[in-house]
Copies of this chain bind each other. A is one copy, B any other.
Amino acid sequence: MIKSREVRLKSRPIGPVALENFELATVNVPSPQDGEALIKNLWMSIDAGQRTLMGSGDADIADLPPKRFELNEPMECQAIGQVIESHDSNLPVGTFVSSNFGWREYFVFKGKQDGFTLTKLEVPVSPLQAHLHIMSVYGATAYYFITQCAKVQAGETVWISTAAGTTGSMACQIAQISGCKVIGTTGSDRKVEWLMEELGLDAAFNYHAPDLRDAIKAACPEGIDVYLDFVGGHQLETAIDLMNPQGRIIKVGETSSYDGGKTDGPGNLFQIVLKRLDLLGRSVFDILAQPARMENVYARLGKWHADGTIKVQETVYEGIENAAQAQIDLLGGKNIGKMLVKVGEPENIR
């Protein structure tokens, strides 16, 4: 019987997430039975959105959708794994799979009842973990936000918040490919440097700077046409101030409130009227519901990935025992690009 370590949610965080909110437990994984397969996780995806699923000590916001993680149960996240033992003819040994069963080293997959949470990687790309960033919903999301929601046009000026994050950094590059001037905001001077030197943005700023508004205004005297908002709060208010008439704000997140912080709404919403802005709430789930549309998106992303047009930086923590720290560090902004935990090595069994 295989032993698997798993990370459980021990308590709901109040304020910033801490190690004490997690517990590393070891469980026995039973051998797979008829119609079942044993999966070994190789890579897991650490994302800011998981914070909302941990809930909060604040009872007032405890009922927010979607469904929160259960206490004292392993959490969930997207993971890439490999079938190492199988009694399911659909899942031959050696097959690579993407599932929602992260935060654990091994799991038994019962085909029929849980099928929607596990998909075979029919054509695995290299490296495997690209299925957790550019060839994942995050890559597709970046594409969807920039081209379909914001409908960017060549020559426009696009501001992307959390520009050094997974989706943000891909969105920056897709806006560049679209012929836009691109500026980004991020949380540290090191990331600013990375955005300028690696991604070649037109300008990048540390959003902690007290003169953020003036700095962006100086860098973009022509104004902002599109703002991609992962953040809310002060940055959204600043963007509304600096938007050009007929500008589009695509709001996709609210990281300023994820980690227990409170976010005030922007006090300048009347400018949305004066400037005829569109403020659109959008999510990756919009396109997940349209698999046919996704195929085209992945074909395009796959090409850009293969020929190096889009680069993705990875921040990798090794071992399930460091997964909780990876989550904490992601929320603390310590990553550049995609935060990943390498859970195991692939078996040479195919």
Contact = CB atoms under 8 A, between A and B. Distances in A.
Interface string A53-64: 000000000001
Contact of A275 (B263, B274, B281): B281
Nearest to A263: B267
Contact of A265 (B254, B266, B273, B274): B266
Contacts of A273: 251-254, 281-283
Say what secondary structure dominates the interface of chain A: loop
A272 interface: yes
Interface in A222-267: 232, 236-237, 251-254, 257, 262-267
Interface string A265-279: 111111111111111
Contacts of A265: 237, 264-269
How many identical chains are in the complex? 2
B278 A278 contact: yes
A279 B271 CA distance: 12
Interface residues of A, number: 33
A115 interface: no
B65 A270 contact: no
Contacts of A257: 270
Contacts of A114: none
A280 interface: yes
A26 to B, nearest CB: 36
Contact of A282 (B251, B276, B282): B276
A307 interface: no
A276 B279 CA distance: 10
A282 B273 CA distance: 5
B286 A281 contact: no
A65 B286 CA distance: 37
A252 B275 CA distance: 11
A290 to B, nearest CB: 13
Nearest to A278: B280
Given A265-B265, A266-B265, A267-B264, A283 B276 contact: yes
Interface in A276-334: 276-283, 286
A262 to B, nearest CB: 8
Contacts of A275: 281
Max chain B CB contacts within 10 Å: which of A237, A264, A279, A283? A279
A272 B251 contact: yes
Most chain B C-beta atoms within 10 Å of own C-beta, residue among A236, A257, A267, A275: A267
Contacts of A232: 269-270
Interface of A: 64-65, 232, 236-237, 251-254, 257, 262-283, 286
Given A251-B269, A264-B264, A272-B281, 14 more contacts: A65-B274, A236-B269, A251-B272, A263-B270, A264-B267, A265-B265, A265-B267, A272-B280, A276-B281, A276-B282, A278-B278, A278-B279, A278-B281, A279-B281
Sorted nearest first, the 8 A-B pairs with minimum C-beta distance are A265-B265, A272-B281, A254-B270, A279-B279, A273-B281, A265-B266, A277-B281, A265-B267
